[in-house]
Amino acid sequence: MRRPGNKSLYAFTYTISLTAILLFFAACAEVPLTHRKSLHIMPQSQMVALGFQQYDKVLEKSKLCTDQKKVMMIRKVGKRISAAAEDFLRDSGLEKDIRNYKWEFNLIEDDKMINAWCMPGGKVAVYTGILPITRDENGLAVVLGHEVAHAIARHGNERMSQAMLASMGGMALSVALKEKPGQTRQLCMAAFGVGASLAFLLPYSRIHESEADRIGLTIMARAGYDPRGAISLWERMSKKGGARPPEFLSTHPAPASRIVALKTHIAEALPYYEKTLK
């Protein structure tokens, strides 16, 4: 015979379990184009606000490039990529997400740093060290398309959510910022590949990389850049690695199998590029 308290305990346990399940699915988001479900426990509004803060701090501590020719190229390509990204979001049924993006593209003077990154909300930094590898606007479009794709797919949010669960037990972002501001901000920087001066970076998974390649190629093609240029760009990036890979490759692994996958993604993106030529 069941004791009187068991029914209440059962109901309580059931409610907690159901709530946990509902929260799990509420936190799931769908990646555009690939339709993969990903877990985001970080509120996007807070992620954007934190991203803006960290972006400003990086710029304050960095030397911005004064070569106007290079700066204008970054912003020209960035403008086309960001416009194409917004069109991509509209066509993916995510027009409401566009309001989260306040696009900004800056070039940081550091010839030793081969890197670029995009914070949530569209704050982008490119380091001069990557320009000899990108070579021209089309090569730069590959990199910017890839980084913007990470932001649109909210990969950084997913990585930071995982890191917060592992290191802070799922603590709410607002609470973590108050109680452990330094650690939280470091996780944010590491999650978005910013950490040139950090002791660690959170690596993108193969799934994230494949998604960023695929979405990035579609975005650059929509912007009027030839996605076929991605093959030579990644080949140059890999050759630059040597014994110690560039910062860009430390957070963006480029295995040999990537080239095979890129060819499939290029075939998908190419019609968008060809449409811009008509």
Active-site positions? 147
The runs of H, that is alpha helices, within the chain are: 4-27, 44-61, 68-91, 131-134, 137-152, 155-168, 173-179, 181-191, 206-222, 229-241, 247-251, 257-276
DSSP line for 202-229: -PPPHHHHHHHHHHHHHHHHHTT--TTH
Contacts of 186 (CB under 8 A, 6+ apart): 195, 198
Contacts of 123 (CB under 8 A, 6+ apart): 51, 52, 55, 102, 103, 104
The SS3 assignment for 101 reads coil
Query: Which of 156, 271, 154 is closest to 217 using CA atoms?
Result: 271
